[in-house]
Structure 1
């Protein structure tokens, strides 16, 4: 299946317009943001706990951070990392990096200092913005203990004693004086579509993290795709962000897309069900993207009915198998005519396909919808030939927001692309007759049972049909007779009358024998990598 490519965009005259003319009207996301600020300076950009920031205030704060970077001697093109939980200062620091012409390196708070240091070292990062710590982790001490010869300064959000290499956020900002306005304007004027916007390091589900660079132009295109094919922001939307800013879903398709289209961001600091429900009611949230477990937890909350969730007009989900009953329950409980699910990867700026309003619960639960309209997507076999409709094949994708190669890794780049320039995703999928793409599995997650190729995602989807099953993940484990067999890790609703024998019996009645898991392990939660995807590596370690 091939989709026509639109590789450019124009800024909307209102938030509901699209951006897909034949030339990029702005050199960078920062310029697009500036246009919104000029149009609606007094509207609210961010709401966070007791803090509210207007668009003109956000611009002023971002420029101050940019001036402070220049005062610190940061040159255009330098790599600057942010290692922090979601908060408004994260956005302000990122805007400062953009304005100063730097390259953003987001880092997940789920990572340890040693893991973060791997990315910082490879990118030759010179500046790190970070929280003091997260949980029991001391970020500052952890980073100072690493071998990072290029890291010259650490700027800490919050109160901290300044030292030679460590500076508090307040002290740092105080150096961004008005005398540097001309220098900052020159940096902003020099931003161009081909300039490097950011490098996001992959989660490393199947190997060591690799840097995925994106240009300013690609970031703008990805924001436009989020608007046209996924979120479809409307004037006055209140957009609650549940995904981490270190991930495409929270960053590029999150706060950055929001400020490019002038909607209000609500930053949630916890995904505990009651807190999310309280935020929806208090802030009158209209757009809510979240993983299925967040929706399930809200629906299971004993006092769900007393929270006013009527403001929600758009809900999206993904990152794991979605049971049909959950989709139907979401539509009913929130009064939604549609719930949207999608598929993407970091190397394609986060999004490849999405279901559409009006799709049935079955389509949403069992497919990831149609490819975005500026991408070419096809399924190929091991010989590189396109497979027929209904036949599994590796998903390969080509388009303007697809990375051009891994950061300083020629070997990985060569292995990642086909001869005709399509990115090899490593995912296996099937197109149905309607053109919807179903993800059947990761190529490397496939296992062979007695000669039969077995795809965990297919089994996981079936397991989620069982009443009381919230989530399921399947891996292959060694077996002396069959080579490998399946082992399922299952999360069930509290009190559900389910046991291992019952699940195995259900599977034997519903699927081919080779697909039936031989072992079922009940867990409270499934392990996830920093992007929110289930970590099959962790499951194999558990097994």
Structure 2
């Protein structure tokens, strides 16, 4: 790599592919030249608000053209992007924004009945100075301004001043912090440098997507998630790819988009893939443009792999893999020559830039076929959690391997299989759920004395949460009450789908909840 600045690399791509369409959305077509111009305008506007290198700026909204423009504008101004998942709610966003000490939040006005703006204004976030509304007029008032009003501030800063800011960028700059939950129940920030982002993007392109400027990329994963951000629009803009942001999933709409736009690369969570397979219009839609369908995040049946290949045609590669926020993206992936059983039952082989192995409790490497913890080392693996030395110290072996918390094994061909979550995580439709975090929030429900959460199998989503609750004396609490509270206070994928009431939680000899016993209950 000759240049380790992610924004300068984007500029090189934008100028090479100036007249190509960078983003096609309901707002129309935005060329690469237009995307660079827009991001520079936002970068200057942020400088006008006093943003300095390294300041944290969050984005909380659905996949959209303004989201990507704002993300690039933040990085052009030398600030650090903090994405927030659209399914999170005020309490969860407050914790992230306070940990990051974010000065500005770009957000959608609403998502359904939920108001991002109201949620932000109701919370105690001392560092927050400005809320920029990405969609709609915004109604400028106090600290809330519209995107158009922010753009107008760009006139206060000369282009040359932004050029100097861009020139100051180095490979060591923290360009983003994605917060991921942990077993302690408190989200942890995963900072990535510009150099690490570029390494991850190049690995993604060279070994997985093989992007060219002729590719059309329908991004169904959230822009706030590593799969929709770094392995999504960020890698795409470095290689002149056309981006199609998908903000909500409707199988019929997605099918028509694939045919109309000639989509070539389609990453999907297994439930999305199944929705495509089952849709009645699918046999009448031409899907031959798709060369790769990438699905992962949870185990998929062999039948689904075969059905995907049948649905898209013999020229389409079905790909699955394994990745982490802490590794800036993919760790392993299946390859074009792999059959349905390998794609369904394994997560493929390690990428070339990474060392991956299976270790026992003593962190010594285990032989082929033996189950242990998956550990990984490489240049794009996080160097440490944001302002969290305790979590950082616990996350690495003495020889520098990151402890993923996932149990698995490797076969004689180098294919890895995930068998369990050492850290008790479960996956709901590809979204990570950490029982400790959910349990911590549910302790705030009036009438709950103790609570434990586990993942249980679900045909559509892979797994869903089940809560076991011990009521406080005299409490009149129903399953409906618990679920309604959770829907208000947490992201919907974290909401337990069922509740069981117990007189006491089963405990082991050390006083910890014996979740193996909970899993054995009907």
TM-score range, shorter chain: 0.7 to 0.9
- For the 8 Å contact 2:57–2:79, the answer to whether it is kept is yes
- For the 8 Å contact 2:48–2:157, the answer to whether it is kept is no
Name 1:522's counterpart in structure 2. none
Name 1:378's counterpart in structure 2. 357
User: Which portions of structure 1, spanning 4 or more consecutive aligned residues, are displaced by more than 6 angstroms?
Assistant: 529-532
Name 2:33's counterpart in structure 1. 56
For the aligned residue pairs, the C-alpha RMSD in angstroms reads: 2.6
1:193 is aligned to 2:151 = no
How high is the TM-score relative to the length of structure 2?
A: 0.82
- Select 1:106's aligned residue among 83, 86, 93: 83
How many angstroms apart in 2 are the aligned matches of 1:366 and 1:110?
29
Matches within 5 A, 1:29-428: 29-157=6-134, 158-177=136-155, 179-204=157-182, 207-335=185-313, 336-428=315-407
How many angstroms apart in 1 are the aligned matches of 2:317 and 2:73?
37
Name stretches of at least 5 consecutive residues in structure 2 with no aligned partner: 436-451, 462-486, 502-522
SS in 2 for 1:222: helix
Give the 3 Å change call, closer, same or farther, for CA 74–220 of structure 1 in structure 2.
same
Q: Deviations over 1:355-398 (max 9, x none)?
A: 11110100000100001100011111011111110000101111
Give the 3 Å change call, closer, same or farther, for CA 315–166 of structure 1 in structure 2.
same
The alpha-carbon deviation at position 296 of structure 1 amounts to 1.0
The alpha-carbon deviation at position 492 of structure 1 amounts to 6.2
Name 1:490's counterpart in structure 2. 458
- For the 8 Å contact 2:290–2:316, the answer to whether it is kept is no
The alpha-carbon deviation at position 120 of structure 1 amounts to 0.5
The alpha-carbon deviation at position 179 of structure 1 amounts to 4.6
How many angstroms apart in 1 are the aligned matches of 2:310 and 2:340?
11
253-262 or 47-56, larger mean C-alpha shift:
47-56
How many angstroms apart in 1 are the aligned matches of 2:197 and 2:460?
39
The alpha-carbon deviation at position 183 of structure 1 amounts to 1.0
SS in 2 for 1:538: coil
Q: Deviations over 1:413-466 (max 9, x none)?
A: 0000111111000001100010000011101339xxxxxxxxx99xx9xxxxxx
SS in 2 for 1:176: helix
- For the 8 Å contact 2:299–2:344, the answer to whether it is kept is yes
169-178 or 64-73, larger mean C-alpha shift:
169-178
SS in 2 for 1:344: strand
How high is the TM-score relative to the length of structure 1?
A: 0.79
How many angstroms apart in 2 are the aligned matches of 1:441 and 1:330?
25
How many angstroms apart in 1 are the aligned matches of 2:388 and 2:325?
16
Name stretches of at least 5 consecutive residues in structure 1 with no aligned partner: 1-23, 447-455, 461-472, 476-483, 494-526
How many angstroms apart in 2 are the aligned matches of 1:383 and 1:43?
53
Matches within 5 A, 1:492-511: none
Give the 3 Å change call, closer, same or farther, for CA 159–184 of structure 1 in structure 2.
same
How many angstroms apart in 2 are the aligned matches of 1:531 and 1:362?
33
